[in-house]
Structure formats: structure tokens, C-alpha cells
Structure 1
Amino acid sequence: MLELKEVTKKFGDRTILDHVDLTVEDGKILCIVGQSGGGKTTLLRCISGLERIDSGQILVDGVAFDPYVNSTNDAVIGVVFQEYNLFPHLTVLQNVMLAPTMVLKKDKKEAQAEAQELLQKLALGDKGELYPWQLSGGQKQRVAIARALAMKPRILCYDEPTSALDPGLRDTVKEIILDLKKDKMTQIIVTHDIDFAEEIADDILRVKPLAN
């Protein structure tokens, strides 16, 4: 279970998150929706360790956890970025294998087998030797999900996973997220797509800009 207690984040004199309390049960899907400037992405970045909180506490299973300084954070919290952030000089397979071999120190053969299995699961089994520039937007999105899953995170975060996808690919991402829920993956999703959120979420957090 993930808990946030009185989490506050400021940029200069501007408060973006003000004493936020939040609980996400294991295996559940939380969608964070709301206006631009409401702090959706900032909240996700704090949970995933890309930003340091100014005050408050983050807990995993009741134990204090600081994702910003935890060197093995990717084994706890994974992130699927809006822009995918794939390495253009690496093949699809190499992109998925990179973090497990470098961060988790996995044997290369083991990492390759697990990466191939993930690609197969996400209907990318025949794309392993291609480079990101050879993929469609939907395929890049699935590679980004495979890369995050390769670290075997407890919690998977997504930043606007459907923003650049057509309706058919949006449904594919929805199916992937719901399949991961069957595997008890805890998922936190920032999205502007209210309909998408209502289709997949166990809980919806609505945020709005603070008056500063």
C-alpha cells in the first residue's frame, strides 16, 4: 500500500501541492485528473522520485520511503513517461534490457529472456531488433511500458499514457493497464482523459490549481 501524508511541494514561492493525503491500495488503479497547473504531473513526479517533496511523508506498506534518494527506486516505483524517453541508438530489446542489467545487475541472458517475454506479452515479440524511429506511437508506448515492467516495480506510474494515441490505440493501452491489474500491479495514472479514467480507475483524484 502506498500512502502520502501531508505532502507539500513548492517551486520558489509557489505552492503546487499543499498537505496532500493519499492512499492507494495494493493492486488498485488510481487516476489523477484535473486542470492544467493543478499539480497532477508534479504529484506523480514526487511519488516516482523525480522531484523531492518539501515536507510530509511517503510510506510503502506503512514504512517511510523516500523515492528521491532510494538508489533502487525503480524496483519499487516504475514510470512510463509521456514522451516515452526511449534511447534512439538502442534497439527495442536493448532498451528493455538496459536497466535490469545496469541497475539490478542481472545476467545479460536472463535479462534478455525476460525482456523478450515482456515484448511478447505486449504484442511486440517481432519488434525486438527494431529501433525507436521505426515504431509507431502506439508501439513506442508499449515499449516504454515493457521497459518499466522489466524492473519489476511494485507500483507503476504513467504520465498521460493516451495523449498522443488514436482511439484504437487508446483501447489497447486500456487493455494493458487492466491486464496488469489482474496481475495485482498497483498503478497510478495522470490523464486529461476523464472518460478513460472512469473506464479503468478504482479511484479518481481530482486536482485543481491552488490560489497562490
Structure 2
Amino acid sequence: MLELKGITKKFDGKTILDQIDLTVPDGQILTIVGPSGAGKTTLLRCISGLASVDSGSFLLDGVAFDPATNRDNDAVIGVVFQDFQLFPNLTVLQNVTLAPTMVLKKSGSEAEQEARKLLKQLNLEGKADLFPYELSGGQKQRVAIVRALAMHPKLLCYDEPTSALDPDLRREVEQIILDLKQEGMTQIVVTHDMPFAESIADQMLRVEPKA
């Protein structure tokens, strides 16, 4: 279970997040919605450790936890970015196995075996040796999810996972997220897509721009 207590974040003296209190139970999906500029992505970046907070605290399973300084953060909180952030010079398989071999110190064969299993699970069989430029937007999104899952995170975060996808692919991503929930994955999804948010959410947090 992830808990946020009094999370506050400022930029150039302007308060973006103001005393956010939040609890995400294990295995549930939280969607964060609101207009552009309201702080949705900022909150996700603070949760994932990509940005530090000015005040407040995080608890993971009841234990104090700082995402911004945790050395094993990749194995605790996975992130699927809006622009995927795949390495263009690496194949799909190399993109997926890089962090498990470098961070988790898995052998190449072990990382590859697990990567191929995950690729199959997300209907990416036959794509392992392709480069990102050879993939569709939906395929890149699924590779980004596989890459995050390969680190065995306790929590998986998504930043606007459907923003560049057509309706059919949006439904595909929705199903992937719901399937992962069935497997017990705790997930946080930032989105401007209200129907998508409502269809997957156990709870929804609406953030509003600060005056």
C-alpha cells in the first residue's frame, strides 16, 4: 500500500501540489485526472521519484519511503512514459533486458527468457528483434509496459498512456491495465481521458490548477 501525506511541490514559488493526502491499496488502480497544468504529471513524477517534493512524506507498506533517493527505485516503482522513451538504437529485446541485467544483476539468459515471456503475454511475439522505429504507436506502448514489468515493480505508473492512440488501441491498453490488476499489480494512471479513467479506476483523484 502506498500512502502520501501532505505532499507539497512548488515551482518558482508557485504551489503546484498543495498538501496532497492519498492512499493506494495494493492491487488497486488510481487514476489522476484534471486539466492541463493542474499538476497531474508533477504528482506522478514525485511518486515515481523523478522529482523531489518540498514537504510531505511517503509510506510504502507502512514504512517511510523516499522515491527520489531510493537506490532500488526502478524495482519498486515502474514508469511508462507518455513518449515511451525506448532506446532507438536498441532492439525491443535489448530495451527490455537492459535494466534487469544492469540493475537487478540478472544473467543475460535469465533476463531474455523473462523478457520473451512478457512480450508473448502482451502480444508482441515476433517483435523482439525489431527496433522502435519499426513499431506502431500501440506496439511501442506495449514494449514500454513490458520494460517496466521486467523490473518486477510493486507499483506501476503511467503518464497519459492513451494520448497518442486510436480508439481500438486505447481499448487494448485499457485491457492490459485491467489484466495486470487481476494479477495483483497496483497501478497509478495519469490521464485526461475521462471515459478511460472511469472504466479502469478503483478510485479517482481530480487535481485542479492552483490560483
Q: Work out whether the TM-score is over 0.5.
A: yes
Aligned to 2:19: 19
* Structure 1 segment 130-209 matched on structure 2, within 5 A: 130-209=130-209
Q: Deviations over 1:33-76 (max 9, x none)?
A: 00111110000000000000111001101101001111110111
**Distance of 2:170 and 2:36 partners within structure 1:** 21
Stretch of structure 1 that moved more, 10-19 or 138-147: 10-19
Aligned to 1:43: 43
**Distance of 2:111 and 2:189 partners within structure 1:** 27
Aligned to 1:119: 119
Confirm whether residue 129 of structure 1 aligns to residue 129 of structure 2.
yes
Q: Deviations over 1:133-179 (max 9, x none)?
A: 00000000000000000000000000000000000000000010000
Aligned to 2:53: 53
Q: Which amino acid aligns with 2:185?
A: M
Partner SS, residue 170 of structure 1: helix
| Structure 1 unaligned regions, length at least 5 | none
List 4+ stretches of structure 1 deviating above 3 A: none
Q: TM-score, normalised by structure 1?
A: 0.99
Q: Which amino acid aligns with 1:73?
A: N
Q: TM-score, normalised by structure 2?
A: 0.99
**Distance of 2:45 and 2:13 partners within structure 1:** 19
**Distance of 2:94 and 2:181 partners within structure 1:** 26
| Structure 2 unaligned regions, length at least 5 | none
Partner SS, residue 157 of structure 2: strand
**Count of residue correspondences:** 211
Partner SS, residue 20 of structure 1: strand
Displacement after TM superposition at 1:104 (Å): 0.7
**Distance of 1:9 and 1:80 partners within structure 2:** 22
Q: Which amino acid aligns with 1:43?
A: L
**Distance of 2:31 and 2:124 partners within structure 1:** 26
Aligned to 1:101: 101
Residue identity (%): 70
Confirm whether residue 30 of structure 1 aligns to residue 30 of structure 2.
yes
Aligned to 2:210: 210
Q: CA RMSD in A?
A: 0.4
**Distance of 1:35 and 1:175 partners within structure 2:** 25
